[in-house]
Amino acid sequence: MSFPVHEPVVYIISAPSGSGKSTLVNELLKSVPDLEFSISYTTRAPRGSETNGRQYYFVSRLEFETMIKHDDFLEHAEVFGNYYGTARRFMDDAEKKGRDLLLDIDVQGAKQIQEKLPRAVSIFILPPDRKTLEERLRKRGEDREEVIHRRLVTASREIEDFTRYNYILVNDRLEDSIESLRAIVRFERILHSGQTPSKEDAKIVTLADHCRLANVRGRLQPILASFRVPAVPGEVSPR
C-alpha cells in the first residue's frame, strides 16, 4: 500500500546580520515539533566554536561549484566573497519524514525560493533600529570595524526588500519575539492543513496576525527611517 507524501510547509527566515535570527531559530527548533532545519553549505571559514554539520557545512569553493553544476541546490548566492546555499536533499528528507522545513537564508536566497516555491511562508526579522543593530554587532566581537560598517550598509539594502515577506518580526524583546515566531509557524500549519482555527488557537491567530506585513507597516516607519530606507507607499493584502 502506498501512502501520500507529506508536502512540507516551507518557512523562510531572513534578517540582517546581528538581528538575533540565530537565537530565535534555535529557540523555535527547541519548542516546535516536526520542524526540520536546513543547514546551509558555505565556503567561508568556521568562526569561533562553529563546527561542520552544525551551524554550516563548510566546503571548498571547488566542492561548492561542483554542487552548482550538479544542480544540488534549491538556492545559492555569493555574499561577501563566499558562497552560501541550501541543498535540495533537505526538502526531500522533510517530505520523507513528514516534517516541515525551516530555511535560514538571506534575501538573495529567499527570492530564489519564493520563485520556486510560491507557497513558502516568508518571515523577515528586523532589529528595533540601526543603533541597536550596530551595538549588537560590536558586542559579538567577531568583526573588524570595516566589516561592521559593511554589514550595516548591507543591512540597509536588505531591509529594502521587506515587502517581499509575508511576516515582519521586530526583535526588540527576545521573549516576545520567540512567542510571535512560534505563533506564526503554528498558525501557518493550521492554514496549510485546511483546518479552521479553533477557539483555543485565538492567541496564536492574534500574535501571527499582528506580524503580517499588511498590519505592521505603520510600526516600521521609525525603523526604516533609522536605516534611511524610504517608506513604501500603499498597502499589501495578507496572503
Q: How far apart are CA 122 and CA 44, in angstroms?
A: 25
Q: What is the DSSP string of 40-84?
A: PEESSPP-TT--BTTTBEE--HHHHHHHHHTT-EEEEEEETTEEE
Find the domain containing 166 and state its range: 10-38+98-226
Q: Hey, what's the cell of 199?
A: 477557539
What band does 123 get if pLDDT is binned at 50, 70 and 90? very high
Give the pLDDT confidence of 12-29 residue by residue, as tens digits. 999 998 999 989 999 999
| Mean pLDDT of all residues in 109-115 | 93
What band does 232 get if pLDDT is binned at 50, 70 and 90? low
Residue 230 has pLDDT above 80, yes or no: no
Please say whether the beta carbons of 107 and 159 come within 8 A.
no
| Mean pLDDT of all residues in 202-223 | 94
In-domain check, residue 150: yes
Residue 141 C-beta-side C-alpha neighbours within 13 Å: 2
Q: How far apart are CA 20 and CA 177, in angstroms?
A: 10
Please say whether the beta carbons of 87 and 74 come within 8 A.
yes
In-domain check, residue 210: yes
Specify the CATH number for the domain of residue 122. Answer: 3.40.50.300
Which residue's entry shows cell 521587506?
A: 162
In-domain check, residue 185: yes
Q: Give buried/exposed letters for 120-156 (b at 16+ CB in 10 A, else e).
A: bbbbbbbbebbebbbebbeeeeebeeeebeebbebbb
pLDDT of residue 6: 63
* Residue 224 CB neighbour total at 10 angstroms: 20
In-domain check, residue 159: yes
| Mean pLDDT of all residues in 164-174 | 96
Q: What is the DSSP string of 24-44?
A: HHHHHHHHSSSEEEEPPEESS
Residue 2 has pLDDT above 50, yes or no: no
Full-model pTM: 0.88
In-domain check, residue 151: yes
What band does 204 get if pLDDT is binned at 50, 70 and 90? very high
In-domain check, residue 152: yes
In-domain check, residue 2: no
The domain total for the chain is: 1
Residue in 32, 36, 30 with CA at minimum distance from that of residue 8: 36
Q: Hey, what's the cell of 224?
A: 526604516
In-domain check, residue 112: yes
| Mean pLDDT of all residues in 189-215 | 93
What band does 1 get if pLDDT is binned at 50, 70 and 90? very low
